[in-house]
A and B are shown apart, each in its own frame.
Chain A
């Protein structure tokens, strides 16, 4: 069976890494952390 390096996963990883870095540069992790630290009553079906 021939072996050949698959490039698609690396392209996808690069793309999503870029998205991730854009999110960080926009300060999104702070917002995500704020949300995750508090109980989301709506999320658990209350409120």
Chain B
């Protein structure tokens, strides 16, 4: 199952970054597909991006909401929020585990051999603050004399944007190199920090900083498709605790907002078919499991 998940993640990377003509055009994709919401965190300024980033677009709409209203337009983010909500209400954080390019990058980084560390559960809450403060409140309330705000999360934090757009664009458009300043270097430092942290801990950005993950986490308990627990079948053997990449105790907190629904606990740990995919209240038939020997012995 984890091999299938990796393949699905790879397919998603190429679907939402499918414009490979950028070295020839010298610019990013400008076609009509960019009206489609990227399910995962993927910067729309990435030269290969074929979809828009919901977090980037939401900030852009919120930061210019006063200007829009003054000019008679009602661009208040309903289209973007609607797209995000449709994805969240359908899949919850399945998107994080199966369709996010930056999630896959962190997973691959974590495969680099090194001493591994856990992340204090308290830090998991920071991502909700990032969503509220950097994506909604600051772009909406901190404005200049023209009534325009800033895309605070993108501008000062987003390491995905730095990796997927900031660095490639500077190589693609040499003129941009002269404009590099403190903010860019600060973002490079954040990206470097996230890369090192990803080697040492599993998916640190998703768990502590990602505003899109925080938004989808709100739906994890109620989404149309979710990972669920059959409490009658669960023996509390705690096998699911040992394999979880985000260190949650699935059988104690099914539907946790931290669960990225990678299904590792279901396919690689649970011997009792207690964990299953729930689609609108109905159990999806299980297709078999590939449980490693190490997990079986413990």
Interface residues of A (CB under 8 A from B): 1, 3-6, 8-10, 12-13, 15-24, 26-29, 31-33, 35-37, 39-47
Contacts and interface: CB of A to CB of B under 8 A. Distances in A.
Given A33-B34, A35-B52, A43 B43 contact: yes
Nearest to B172: A39
A28 B80 contact: yes
Interface of B: 27-28, 30, 32, 34-35, 43-45, 49, 51-53, 56-57, 60-61, 68, 73-86, 88-90, 150-151, 154-156, 158, 161-162, 165-166, 169-170, 173, 176, 179-181, 183-184, 186-188, 219, 222-224, 230, 232-233, 278, 280-283
Contacts of A23: 77-82
A45 B154 CA distance: 7
Nearest to A21: B82
Contact of B34 (A6, A16, A27, A36): A36
Residue picked from A13, A22, A28, most chain B C-beta under 10 Å = A28
A35 B184 CA distance: 20
Contacts of B57: 32, 35-36
B184 to A, nearest CB: 4
Given A5-B281, A28-B74, A47-B179, 15 more contacts: A1-B233, A3-B283, A20-B78, A21-B82, A23-B82, A28-B80, A32-B52, A35-B57, A36-B52, A40-B45, A40-B154, A41-B179, A45-B161, A45-B162, A45-B187
Contacts of A44: 43, 45, 154, 161-162, 165-166, 169, 184, 187
Counting from the closest, the 3 A-B pairs by CB-CB distance are: A23-B79, A20-B82, A16-B85
B257 to A, nearest CB: 15
Given A23-B80, A36-B34, A43-B155, A1 B166 contact: no
A28 B218 CA distance: 25
A42 B151 contact: yes
Given A19-B85, A40-B56, A13 B184 contact: no
Contacts of A10: 224, 280
A28 B54 CA distance: 13
Contact of A45 (B81, B82, B89, B155): B155
Contacts of B68: 31
Given A21-B82, A42-B155, A8 B186 contact: no
A18 B233 CA distance: 39
Contact of A17 (B28, B86, B188, B219): B86
B197 to A, nearest CB: 19
B66 to A, nearest CB: 14
A31 B165 contact: no
Contact of B90 (A1, A9, A39, A47): A9
Given A26-B74, A37-B30, A12 B151 contact: no
B34 to A, nearest CB: 4
